[in-house]
Structure 1
Amino acid sequence: MKILSTFVLIAMTSQLNADEISTSIWDLKALSKPPKMEWVDSNVPIRSLIFTGPDYNGEPTQVFAFYATPGTLSGDTSKDKNLPAVVLLHGGGGTAFADWVELWAKRGYAAIALDFSGRRPASPVFDRKTNELVVERNHGKLVRTRLPHGGPEHTGQEKFNNVGGDITDDWQYHAISNILLAHSLVRSFPEVDPERTAVTGISWGGYLTCIAASVDSRFKAAVPVYGCGFLYEGESVQKPQIDRLSPEKREAWIKMYDPSKHLVNCHVPILFVNGTNDIHYPLNSYMKSYHAVPGEKNLRIEVNMRHGHPSGWAPMEIEQFVASKIHNAKPLAKIDRPEQHDAQATARFQSQVPISKAHFHWTSDRGLLSKRKWSTTAADLDVKGKVLTSQVPDDATIWYFTATDERGAMTSSEVIFVVTKKE
């Protein structure tokens, strides 16, 4: 693995493009090879493993992950052949979640979820009578044990303040390295089709998804939930921590670890999922991240979507988007950028599945994005002409369309921020 000073890297990256910046931080050739691993428990429905990650404090690290397939859940792994695979990335306060792995394995995927804090959660517990996974709904109560050779903790010190020295104590350096290693590992499993893999993450895991999809072109689909770039501006709750850094460290952090500097190189099809009032990844930063992507992309913006792990993995559109890229399933509807003429907004859409309803969402509030109240009304739906229309209230400050198909899958148009003389 490469070990370079952050300030040496900044000097190197000042004249580099996004792809060159990524390769100056992460040794993509080395990370494309499966890491050494050992099974902690390989005879249960949701299995545990530990693989070797990059050096930390001069020694190789241990990285914990849960792994499951349709076969491990049923007890007959002989049926596991040419499976698609998904890499699952938790957010702040989280860990590898057995119930998240189970969710995707039940859908027919090989699923691997890794921990990003150098810890391991307790082994899954199964009901003796039903053999169903016993789920702890309060994730804060999950016991996490520090591994003897675990990597950096998942705290502000490691995510922000450590920038500016040996990059091997930077949380992002380890997190992205371990995502790519987990991807390489699951691609090496005989039951997995290595050409049908995806990545999705929640909150900080969504942040990591943005970077991972930008540096690892082996993925066929990516879904960041909440997470985005441009955290150094706007209303992100992460901005104060970035601003407290010295000017040199702040510049280093932005160039190396803000997803905005990597998304410009993202050509993996990507679906952005967020809510209108998220305080961690505000809507304006989210849309700037969406616009930064040069490749295929889509949006799902939900009014007042809750922020959390179960809420983040609940939307059906996540799996439908992935399936459309690796199963040739029918894709989600795509709404073109809306236009406004006088007081009327219009947007064209494409959909292989009939659209059953459409809505227009807006807020007339000003001030903090997370505090604004939103209104929703039915939009006029021209199924034959594939056009959405709605009147835009005179005092609207932000607005967008959504379309829902007959499967119940919702997608959004770009979010339009109205520029007025008062702002």
Structure 2
Amino acid sequence: MRIVRWLAAVSVMAVGIGCAAQDSQDAWEASMHDVLHTPYDSKLPALDAKVWSTFSPTPGVLADRVTYSTASEMLVPAIVYRPDPKVTKYKGQLPGIVIVNGHGSDKFGWYAFYSGMMFAKAGAVVITYDPIGEGERNARKASMENPSPHDADVTPPAPIPHDDWGQRLAGLMQVDLAQAISYLRAQPEVDPKRIGVAGYSMGAFITGLAAAMDYYDHRIAAVVLSGGGTYDDAAGGYFDVNRNPCQAPPYRALLPWLKIKGEPARGEILYALIASSHHPMLIMNGDNDTVMDIPHHNAAWFQELHDRTMKDFGLPQSAMFQAVFYPGISHRTSWVNRDGVEWLNSQLHFPFWKTNAIIEAQGTTHVSTWITANHVAISKNYFREDREGGLDAVGTGLPGIPRGDLMVLPDADWQRVKDRLTYEAWAAKTMAVEQEAAEKLRVH
């Protein structure tokens, strides 16, 4: 039995804001781009995408091994799952989904490839990719290293502020995601107006900022944050003290810029930008998720933030985020359950799973049982029943994909371009950029 608690309404309507509010929101988004050293979507790097090869992980689904360009002339390896047109017939364009992994995970993570196959079965084109320092962007082509290479606390050359490194790291992650959206938009079978993004944990942090920064461009049609969304207003909140350089430094750097009447209002402004961008959003958390400090950011906390944002910005309730809380549950990727799939279908309209009845007819797979039977890698800490292992994911009979099948580049090619892939290569480029900036500041 599914036990859920919902906040807010189900649909999204056009949001009207006055000229003064428009000016403020323009400035807020611009400040976010400045803080993260990121270009607007219209000025993203050339995609330069390449399909290296294609395989079929399960009947009716094809998986393309792809690379695309990101910030600092780096490359992102990705697996793109799509319905096999020789097996599944469809008319018109398909929705797209970007999966943004949590800390320590990548396209080799169980929920990345399960989501890819599951949503492709529903009729979507799904892109999963390696975050910097993970998978093929790791110097050892490793996953789940603890600490991850990108966890390094790097001090920039004086007089560059210490947090600049983390701001640039978070900015790289933003461009990685933006370019994944660009890849989907470039596919002729994908409807550019039906692209959703689902982010988990660290990926939820990245995804929420991306949705707010999409205020100008409107490239995202639906957003799911699972295990996340706890954007505090004042200093000293969850993300301010988070140990990860890609989260605490950029969030602290937003504090002087995201204010209302001189008072810090980061969470409220982020959610107002998302709502004003017409992005329907679902936030999915366990009420016992200590990873994200949900006991101190519970349903009442989200409701207060929801109501305050709606009131201060004159937003209709239908424009605001929805939130679901699972009693006794901790950190997990809840978008694979029926709640997540049904909500995404209501926004993106899957061509093969058009109704909740069809989704229910797919059955479910208990994740811990599936992981054991298919010898799928997972951290013991997340195999727990109150975490990812306890999920009942939509679909049955999906395989565990061997790690080798999810490698995009043949080893000889990986060796040839590794200076455009690994965290260490990005770090060397970024340190050179900071060194040049520091020298200019010292001169002046």
Q: TM-score, normalised by structure 1?
A: 0.56
> Residue 167 of structure 1 contacts residue 173 of structure 1 at CA under 8 Å; is this kept in 2?
no
Q: Which runs of structure 2 are paired with 1:169-318 in the superposition (5 Å)?
A: 170-216=168-214, 217-230=218-231, 238-241=239-242, 251-252=252-253, 254=255, 262-267=270-275, 268-281=279-292, 282=294, 283-284=297-298, 286-287=302-303, 290-291=306-307, 292=309, 295-309=319-333, 312-318=334-340
Question: Which residue number in structure 1 is paired with residue 49 of structure 2?
Answer: 37
CA shift in 2, pair 1:106/1:42, >3 Å: same
Question: Which residue number in structure 2 is paired with residue 85 of structure 1?
Answer: 96
Question: Which residue number in structure 2 is paired with residue 388 of structure 1?
Answer: none
Letter in 2 for 1:222: V
Which structure 1 residue ranges, 5 or more long, are not aligned? 1-13, 123-141, 147-151, 333-423
Letter in 2 for 1:109: A
CA shift in 2, pair 1:168/1:265, >3 Å: same
Structure having the higher strand fraction is: 1
Structure 1 residue 27 corresponds to structure 2 residue 44: no
> Residue 236 of structure 1 contacts residue 279 of structure 1 at CA under 8 Å; is this kept in 2?
no
Distance 1:274 1:99 in 2: 20
Question: Which residue number in structure 1 is paired with residue 349 of structure 2?
Answer: 327
Percentage of pairs with the same residue: 19
Distance 1:239 1:22 in 2: 16
Distance 1:269 1:76 in 2: 32
> Residue 158 of structure 1 contacts residue 169 of structure 1 at CA under 8 Å; is this kept in 2?
no
Question: Which residue number in structure 2 is paired with residue 366 of structure 1?
Answer: none
Q: How many residues were matched structurally?
A: 286
Distance 2:69 2:149 in 1: 16
Q: Deviations over 1:209-260 (max 9, x none)?
A: 211111222211111111124358799765534799xx99984264589766
> Residue 225 of structure 2 contacts residue 282 of structure 2 at CA under 8 Å; is this kept in 1?
yes
Letter in 2 for 1:63: V
Q: Deviations over 1:340-369 (max 9, x none)?
A: xxxxxxxxxxxxxxxxxxxxxxxxxxxxxx
The match for 1:116 among 116, 122, 131 is: 131
> Residue 285 of structure 2 contacts residue 325 of structure 2 at CA under 8 Å; is this kept in 1?
yes
CA shift in 2, pair 1:42/1:220, >3 Å: same
Structure 1 residue 155 corresponds to structure 2 residue 151: yes
- Of structures 1 and 2, the one with the larger relative CO (CA 8 A, separation 6+) is 2
Q: Deviations over 1:126-168 (max 9, x none)?
A: xxxxxxxxxxxxxxxx94499xxxxx94426379999747669
Which structure 2 residue ranges, 5 or more long, are not aligned? 1-23, 57-61, 259-265, 357-444
> Residue 288 of structure 2 contacts residue 329 of structure 2 at CA under 8 Å; is this kept in 1?
yes
Note the aligned Cα RMSD (angstroms): 4.3
> Residue 120 of structure 2 contacts residue 126 of structure 2 at CA under 8 Å; is this kept in 1?
yes
Q: Deviations over 1:281-313 (max 9, x none)?
A: 22246556645475332111111223134xx33
> Residue 208 of structure 1 contacts residue 227 of structure 1 at CA under 8 Å; is this kept in 2?
no
Structure 1 residue 46 corresponds to structure 2 residue 70: no
CA shift in 2, pair 1:235/1:42, >3 Å: same
Letter in 2 for 1:276: D
> Residue 92 of structure 1 contacts residue 154 of structure 1 at CA under 8 Å; is this kept in 2?
no
Distance 1:322 1:121 in 2: 29
Letter in 2 for 1:54: A
Distance 1:325 1:159 in 2: 43
Secondary structure of 1:69 counterpart: strand
Secondary structure of 1:304 counterpart: coil
Question: Which residue number in structure 1 is paired with residue 28 of structure 2?
Answer: 18
Distance 1:214 1:175 in 2: 15
